[in-house]
Amino acid sequence: ETGVTQTPRHLVMGMTNKKSLKCEQHLGHNAMYWYKQSAKKPLELMFVYSLEERVENNSVPSRFSPECPNSSHLFLHLHTLQPEDSALYLCASSQAEETIERNPETQYFGPGTRLLVL
């Protein structure tokens, strides 16, 4: 496997279900991201993990719970979702700089999980 992989690719769930999305990066990066992509809207950053510590959550509802057990794996746990949470959930990774002088961190994306909440 190369790049960034995500499973499952498609998920249909009821509002009372609990499910998890999985992301794995094979690029040796130290930062991982969860994004939500809705039709005709900008990508919404949900969570950032840099060096395995969460650095931002952008006020995402608590029904979304991230987990980053190591620098290569990222999960998004879902419970009691709403129909408006239906979207494409994208994972990305990058190599975060540890120096004061930052260089652009190009993000590499996985193919996404298409989520439908009924």
Partner 1 sequence: GQNIDQPTEMTATEGAIVQINCTYQTSGFNGLFWYQQHAGEAPTFLSYNVLDGLEEKGRFSSFLSRSKGYSYLLLKELQMKDSASYLCAVLDSNYQLIWGAGTKLIIKP
- In the complex, which residues of this chain contact partner 1 (CB under 8 A)? 4, 40-43, 45, 56, 90, 102, 104-112, 114
Contact 106, 31 (CB under 8 A): no
Query: Minimum distance from CB of 109 to partner 1 (Å)?
Result: 4
Query: Minimum distance from CB of 115 to partner 1 (Å)?
Result: 14
Query: Minimum distance from CB of 53 to partner 1 (Å)?
Result: 16
Contact 89, 35 (CB under 8 A): yes
Question: How do beta strands 113-117 and 10-13 pair?
Answer: parallel
Which one-letter amino acid corresponds to residue 16?
T
Q: Give rounded-to-5 percent helix, strand, coil for the chain.
A: 5, 55, 45
Q: 43 or 80: whose CB is closer to partner 1?
A: 43
Q: 66 or 112: whose CB is closer to partner 1?
A: 112
